């Protein structure tokens, strides 16, 4: 086996990721002082790390700028560049046919670790990990039945955090005093990108959470069939609003940004996805109730760090949920003072029940 693969910590990747997600990363740089002046002034000298490791990613068709998990993946690479001194690169995929040649191009350029972003790249990752055993592969949102020893699947329990968002939406749609955009209908909506398992988990968790606190709520789900069509996302959200939905959650990448615009123009509240979209989508604060957050950036960073440290362990699929702080809800931001204490208490209770095992959130439509 290639000398890169250190096996003395058989579960290091899972443990390191969980630990980092729980406590965050220490971004403190080493400092030195220079007292070379008569006045005794000091000058900070930043110790910039260097590494021979080269890390890269292949986006899904949403590309960079999706304000979602492609951007989060790249943020993890940027953190690795800043804190570990690795060289980084991202290749964008305009269509599914680009996945495989993009990986080949990065291997030809001698990149040591490659992240393939998105469920749709699972087969390509399996194939290329076997084809290039000296390259480390991290598959975002990918489960491999037989991952190679240079391959790690990095997955998330989106349904757990989406359940909490459903609790917020299910109660908010009943609270007409919270915001004048809440109507008399008991209807909320979901916009999905492609109908694939990770997006299904968002839909199912959101629906189950809403119905746990509001059994009579109607949840209308529409799918765009794409992650990169803002116009389609706007069209679907407008349709939901026309049908009476006043709170909409989108798990659709760049497509979902169009849904935000629809909420702003037609008068509804929005729940974001992956990143805290209040921070990543400029001017969205007037409708952004909260976001369902996935810590993809930290999964990427810690995987690169394991490669740099020589402790990467492949042949694994690791899933991160509420317990590992791998998913969660973003702050309410501009809605902090208008979201009721009852809604906040219901979210806290649901989170506690998921963590204790009293609630096991379903991840497929079979649970609905």
What are the extents of the domains in the chain?
12-21+46-157+296-320, 158-293+327-362
Helix (H) or strand (E) holding 327: strand 327-329
CA-to-CA distance for 36 and 317, rounded, in angstroms?
A: 53
Question: Is the distance from CB of 281 to CB of 260 less than 8 angstroms?
Answer: yes
Mean pLDDT of 58-69: 89
pLDDT score recorded for residue 325: 86
Percent of the chain with pLDDT over 90: 82
Total Cβ atoms within 10 A of residue 301: 26
CATH architecture type of domain 12-21+46-157+296-320: 3-Layer(aba) Sandwich (3.40)
Average per-residue pLDDT for the chain: 89
Which band of pLDDT confidence, cut at 50, 70 and 90, is reported for residue 23? very low
Helix (H) or strand (E) holding 316: strand 316-320
Same CATH fold, 158-293+327-362 and 12-21+46-157+296-320?
A: yes
Q: Which CATH number describes the domain made up of 158-293+327-362?
A: 3.40.50.2300
Structure tokens given for 251 = 């798990």
Burial per residue of 129-158, b for 16 or more beta-carbon CB atoms within 10 angstroms, e otherwise: beebbebbbbbbbbebeebbbbbbbbbbbb
Mean pLDDT of 228-233: 96
If you write DSSP's letter for every residue of 151-190 in order, what string do you get? EEEEEE-HHHHHHHHHHHHHHHTT-TTT-TT--SS-EEEE
pLDDT score recorded for residue 282: 95
**Residue 342: burial class (beta carbons within 10 Å; 0-12, 13-18, 19+):** exposed
pLDDT score recorded for residue 37: 39
Give bridge partners of residue 292 from the DSSP assignment. 273, 329
Mean pLDDT of 161-174: 98
pLDDT, one tens digit per residue, over 309-347 is 999 989 999 998 999 888 999 999 999 999 999 999 999
pLDDT score recorded for residue 47: 65
CA-to-CA distance for 289 and 334, rounded, in angstroms?
A: 8
Residue with token string 């003395």:
8
pLDDT, one tens digit per residue, over 182-214 is 999 999 999 999 999 999 999 999 999 999 999
Mean pLDDT of 111-122: 96
pLDDT score recorded for residue 49: 75
Global confidence as pTM? 0.82
């Amino acid at each position: 086996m290639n000398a890169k693969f250190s096996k003395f910590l058989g579960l290091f990747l899972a443990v390191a990721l969980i630990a980092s997600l729980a406590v965050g990363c220490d971004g403190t740089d080493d400092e030195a002082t220079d007292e070379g002046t008569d006045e005794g002034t000091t000058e900070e000298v930043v110790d910039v790390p260097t590494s021979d490791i080269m890390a890269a990613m292949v986006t899904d068709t949403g590309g960079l700028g999706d304000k979602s998990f492609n951007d989060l993946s790249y943020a993890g690479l940027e953190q690795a560049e800043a804190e570990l001194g690795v060289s980084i690169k991202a290749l964008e995929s305009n269509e599914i046919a680009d996945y495989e040649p993009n990986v080949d191009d990065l291997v030809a350029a001698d990149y040591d670790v490659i992240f393939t972003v998105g469920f749709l790249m699972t087969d390509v990752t399996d194939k290329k990990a076997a084809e290039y055993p000296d390259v480390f592969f991290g598959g975002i949102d990918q489960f491999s039945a037989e991952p190679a020893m240079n391959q790690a699947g990095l997955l998330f329990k989106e349904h757990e955090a989406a359940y909490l968002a459903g609790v917020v939406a299910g109660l908010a749609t009943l609270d007409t005093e919270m915001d004048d955009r809440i109507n008399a209908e008991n209807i909320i909506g979901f916009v999905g990108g492609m109908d694939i398992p990770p997006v299904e988990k968002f839909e199912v968790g959101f629906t189950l959470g809403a119905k746990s606190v509001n059994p009579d709520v109607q949840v209308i789900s529409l799918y765009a069939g794409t992650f990169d069509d803002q116009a389609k996302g706007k069209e679907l959200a407008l349709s939901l609003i026309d049908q009476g939905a006043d709170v909409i959650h989108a798990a659709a990448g760049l497509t979902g940004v169009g849904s935000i615009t629809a909420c702003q123009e037609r008068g509804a509240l929005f729940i974001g996805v992956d990143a805290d979209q209040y921070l990543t989508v400029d001017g969205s604060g007037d409708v952004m109730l909260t976001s369902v957050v996935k810590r993809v950036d930290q999964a990427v960073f810690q995987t690169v760090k394991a490669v740099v440290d020589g402790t990467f362990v492949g042949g694994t699929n690791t899933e991160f949920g509420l317990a590992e702080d791998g998913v969660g809800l973003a702050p309410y931001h501009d809605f902090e003072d208008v979201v009721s204490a009852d809604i906040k208490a219901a979210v806290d209770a649901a989170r506690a029940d998921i963590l204790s095992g009293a609630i096991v959130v379903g991840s497929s439509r079979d649970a609905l």
